[in-house]
């Protein structure tokens, strides 16, 4: 398989990203290929002799970089030669089977939604974000690709997210919840009620029924299905609340003796990192022909190696073929 | 004015609630009346001589109690003689100008939505929840009364919530944000875009434009307007995340020496209470003829006195007349 890696994305780019890419060669097979995307001269210099000693790593030139804080849609439109846009374009042209980046999540998703083909049978790609909840993680889908979905779209997301939960996280029979404002039958919008009927009828899903916002943190389910509007709001509320609580707690701790505060720093940092989805894994674009792995912004070489490994595993499990087969069997 | 108080609602009912009601008599005028709602015998015993020495406090009998954890809609349907249902019914019949309870929020709101008349000009009542964010509070409306609103409903909520923010929290010119998934013009659903046009045209509002989920915690605005589906999900995500983070942090702290953990307990408790909307204030039902104040579940006599004071203040500011005037001026 051919795995394109954005050398310029993330806080530790390019050095740690490139090191991760090179180390991945150790466990790849000779017919696998790593494609490192970024400024040609820089990558030549950083990769050095690796290019001559290994035939299965090459450079895809991209002269621009999209910063972590740039406005996503604008950046994608204007920086046509950025590593993100070049990487996604390469995949769109059939030149990569998987893409990996630690860069600007919004820009990656925007480029993916705009440029990549949908898998056969997929009506609309969806964004899935693994939300860490202290115990494990809940795959929230859709997190913003499709703000006014039809019930059939949400049904597809339930199937897609279940396959990803199995393949990437090893959850045997992912529990799927449909996000609603109560668990009683009469609760919710027409979209929710119609979607529930579709999910209930699909015996291939482990559908547990309606879940509420608080259940994301309750270990009630592995997959939470919602429209892209609600999903995106949920994601940003979680981000905002985590950041705000952490700041307030730090202010409070500043009143303690320095030694106590020092003792606590790591514990508090660790606790909050258990809830930081950006730290945990970023995002997946489900339903496109290319496996799309956004790794966390602070990814180093280990995270890149793990992502390459996950991409190989997903391919070994024929993730796209499984999705297509399940969609053609189970979707009207 | 006549203020009905649910003697049986909240963790510290009935004693602390009744004490708060009695203490409120000190600052009320002789033509104000406190109506304490609950089991007649019990209230007679608890109120004792107050009933004979004060002519402006009386009992409204209600033999049943709705527990804090009961399923709201079912409880309201079945317990027709509960203090919550009797209190709301009294208001619906014109027997109270304000109602105050520390009881089951869901049951209170369900009873209010079902039984109370809307103010003239109000198309659909909305639930507003003050969400504490570490700095101050954001009034989130609608939090679940109206899951598929029209743009005109959301415009009304912006007006209603602004008046409440001024009257109850003393915010002179409340900044109103419309919850969306980005701040660019093209973002969002048709509902959001149409609502934005209405809010922009209304020069009586201090409308700051689109806000995102994270801005609830950013001190960007005083009022956040959204549909009841999204608002309810947001509220429950905040609840779930706060609870889960607190549990995880406590687990982590258990590894510290007992003395350090003891030192920290109060700080952590205080920090999280700054984000607990249930602790902070509960909910308001906007747009109904009766002033509807849900106080926090752990309310004691001070919280009840404060709520009575707020009700008096709202009346002094003619909150309902202001709402009606603003609606008739500014809504098509």
B248 close to A274: Cβ distance less than 8 angstroms: yes
Helices assigned H by DSSP within B79-178: 83-92, 105-115, 151-169
A98 and A200 fall within a common domain: no
CA A172 to chain B, closest CA, distance in angstroms equals 25
Share of chain A above pLDDT 90, in %: 70
Indicate if the pLDDT at residue A111 is higher than 90: yes
d(CA B260, CA B34): 47
Look at residue B332 in the predicted model and tell me its pLDDT: 63
Give the tens place of pLDDT for each residue, A2-13.
999 999 999 999
Nearest Cα residue to A154 out of A177, A171, A133: A177
Last residue of a domain, one of B259, B282, B305: B282
Contact A245 B133 (CB under 8 A): no
Contact B237 A253 (CB under 8 A): no
- Domain presence at residue A85: yes
A139 and A214 fall within a common domain: yes
Q: Which of B216, B233, B238 sits opposite A181 (nearest CB)?
A: B233
The dihedrals phi and psi of B206, each to the nearest 5 degrees, come to -95, 70
A44 and A19 fall within a common domain: yes
- Domain presence at residue A322: no
Question: Which parts of chain B are beta strand (E)?
Answer: 2-6, 33-38, 57-61, 98-101, 126-132, 137-141, 175-179, 206-211, 223-225, 284-286, 291-294
Confidence of residue A262 (pLDDT cuts 50, 70, 90): confident
B116 and B219 fall within a common domain: no
The dihedrals phi and psi of A186, each to the nearest 5 degrees, come to -80, -5
Q: Which of A189, A213, A274 sits opposite B248 (nearest CB)?
A: A274
Nearest Cα residue to B100 out of B262, B272, B257, B314: B314
Contact A229 B189 (CB under 8 A): yes
Substitution target from A237, A254, A265 for chain B, most B beta carbons within 10 A: A237
Number of CB atoms found within 10 A of residue B212's CB:
22
Question: Cα separations (Å) of A93 from A286, A290, B56?
Answer: 18, 10, 81
Substitution target from B73, B181, B235, B238 for chain A, most A beta carbons within 10 A: B181
List CB contacts (< 8 A) between B71 and chain A.
184
Look at residue A278 in the predicted model and tell me its pLDDT: 65
Mean pLDDT calculated for residue range B185-195: 92
| Structural domain boundaries, residue A155 | 125-282
For residue B268, give the 3-state DSSP assignment: helix
B179 and B253 fall within a common domain: yes
CA A128 to chain B, closest CA, distance in angstroms equals 16
Nearest Cα residue to B229 out of A188, A93, A225: A188
- Domain presence at residue B36: yes
Contact A213 B245 (CB under 8 A): no
- Domain presence at residue A30: yes
Q: Which of A213, A247, A255 sits opposite B240 (nearest CB)?
A: A213
CA angle A62, A67, A68 (to 5 degrees): 130
List CB contacts (< 8 A) between B213 and chain A.
232-240
The H or E element containing residue A212 is none
Say which DSSP state A119 is in: P
Substitution target from A244, A262, A275 for chain B, most B beta carbons within 10 A: A244
A201 and A109 fall within a common domain: no
B140 and B117 fall within a common domain: no
Nearest Cα residue to B188 out of B211, B171, B207, B166: B211
Contact A181 B144 (CB under 8 A): yes
B79 and B201 fall within a common domain: no
List CB contacts (< 8 A) between B189 and chain A.
147-148, 229
Burial of B186 (0-12, 13-18, 19+ CB in 10 A): exposed
Number of CB atoms found within 10 A of residue A108's CB:
29
Substitution target from A154, A229, A264, A274 for chain B, most B beta carbons within 10 A: A229
A217 close to B244: Cβ distance less than 8 angstroms: yes
CATH number for the domain harbouring residue A294: 3.40.718.10
Q: Report the complex ipTM.
A: 0.89
- Domain presence at residue A330: no
User: What is the total residue count of chain B?
Assistant: 332
CA B87 to chain A, closest CA, distance in angstroms equals 25
Looking at the DSSP bridge assignments, the partners of residue A294 are: A101
- Domain presence at residue B322: no
B113 and B153 fall within a common domain: no
Closest chain B residue by Cα to residue A271: B249
Number of CB atoms found within 10 A of residue B181's CB:
23
Contact B275 A214 (CB under 8 A): no
Look at residue A280 in the predicted model and tell me its pLDDT: 64
List CB contacts (< 8 A) between A272 and chain B.
245
Looking at the DSSP bridge assignments, the partners of residue A210 are: A178
Contact B189 A216 (CB under 8 A): no
Question: Cα separations (Å) of B298 from B17, B46, B105, B273, B313?
Answer: 10, 20, 12, 12, 23
Give the tens place of pLDDT for each residue, A39-57.
999 999 999 999 999 999 9
Give the tens place of pLDDT for each residue, A139-174.
999 999 999 999 999 999 999 999 999 998 899 999
- Domain presence at residue B327: no
CA B230 to chain A, closest CA, distance in angstroms equals 6
d(CA A299, CA A101): 9
Encoding tokens for residue B201?
Answer: 């045209």
Encoding tokens for residue A246?
Answer: 């952490």
Number of domains comprising chain B: 2
A50 and A138 fall within a common domain: no
Contact B242 A244 (CB under 8 A): no
Contact A133 B245 (CB under 8 A): no
Contact A270 B247 (CB under 8 A): no
Burial of B19 (0-12, 13-18, 19+ CB in 10 A): middle
Contact A213 B275 (CB under 8 A): no
d(CA A293, CA A102): 9
- Domain presence at residue A325: no
Look at residue A251 in the predicted model and tell me its pLDDT: 85
B307 and B278 fall within a common domain: no
Look at residue A281 in the predicted model and tell me its pLDDT: 65
Substitution target from A77, A135, A181 for chain B, most B beta carbons within 10 A: A181
The dihedrals phi and psi of B153, each to the nearest 5 degrees, come to -65, -45
Closest chain B residue by Cα to residue A133: B244
Confidence of residue B155 (pLDDT cuts 50, 70, 90): very high
Encoding tokens for residue A242?
Answer: 């985590």
Sheet of B2-6, strand order: B57-61, B33-38, B2-6, B98-101, B291-294, B284-286, B126-132, B137-141, B223-225, B175-179, B206-211
d(CA A313, CA A305): 12
B303 and B183 fall within a common domain: no
Nearest Cα residue to A73 out of A49, A104, A35, A29: A104
Q: The pTM is what?
A: 0.90
Say which DSSP state B288 is in: B
Contact residues for A258 (Cβ-Cβ < 8 A; gap 6+): none
Mean pLDDT calculated for residue range B313-328: 88
d(CA B129, CA B33): 27
Nearest Cα residue to B242 out of A218, A179, A263, A142: A218
Indicate if the pLDDT at residue B281 is higher than 70: no
Look at residue A63 in the predicted model and tell me its pLDDT: 97
For residue B313, give the 3-state DSSP assignment: helix
Encoding tokens for residue B321?
Answer: 């007349």
Mean of the per-residue pLDDT values of chain B:
92
Closest chain B residue by Cα to residue A240: B214
Least confident of A227-231, B1-5, B122-126, B254-258: B254-258
Q: Which of A184, A240, A274 sits opposite B218 (nearest CB)?
A: A240
């Amino acid at each position: 398989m051919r795995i394109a890696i954005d050398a310029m994305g993330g806080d530790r780019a390019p050095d740690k990203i490139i090191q991760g890419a090179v180390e991945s060669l150790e466990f790849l097979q000779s017919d696998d290929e790593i494609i490192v995307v970024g400024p040609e001269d820089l990558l030549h210099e950083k990769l050095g002799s690796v290019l001559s000693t290994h035939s299965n790593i090459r450079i895809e030139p991209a002269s621009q970089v999209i910063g972590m804080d740039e406005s996503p849609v604008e950046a994608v439109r204007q920086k046509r030669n950025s590593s993100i846009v070049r990487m996604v374009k390469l995949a769109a042209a059939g030149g990569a089977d998987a893409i990996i980046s630690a860069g600007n999540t919004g820009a990656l998703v925007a480029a993916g939604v705009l440029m990549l083909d949908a898998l056969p049978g997929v009506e609309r790609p969806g964004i899935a974000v693994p939300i860490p909840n202290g115990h494990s993680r809940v795959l929230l889908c859709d997190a913003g690709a499709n703000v006014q979905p039809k019930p059939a779209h949400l049904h597809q997301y339930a199937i897609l997210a279940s396959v990803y939960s199995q393949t990437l996280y090893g959850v045997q029979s992912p529990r799927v919840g449909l996000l609603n404002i109560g668990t009683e039958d009469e609760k919710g919008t027409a979209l929710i009620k119609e979607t529930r009927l579709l999910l209930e009828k699909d015996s291939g899903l482990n559908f547990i029924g309606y879940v509420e916002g608080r259940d994301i943190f309750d270990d009630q389910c592995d997959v939470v299905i919602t429209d892209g509007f609600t999903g995106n709001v949920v994601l940003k509320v979680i981000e905002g609340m985590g950041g705000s609580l952490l700041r307030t707690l730090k202010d409070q701790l500043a009143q303690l003796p320095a030694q106590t505060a020092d003792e606590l720093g790591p514990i508090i940092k660790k606790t909050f990192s258990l809830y930081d989805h950006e730290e945990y894994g970023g995002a997946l674009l489900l339903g496109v022909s290319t496996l799309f792995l956004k790794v966390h912004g602070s990814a180093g070489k280990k995270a890149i190696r793990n992502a390459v490994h996950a991409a190989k595993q997903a391919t070994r499990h024929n993730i796209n073929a499984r999705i297509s087969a399940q969609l053609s069997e189970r979707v009207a």
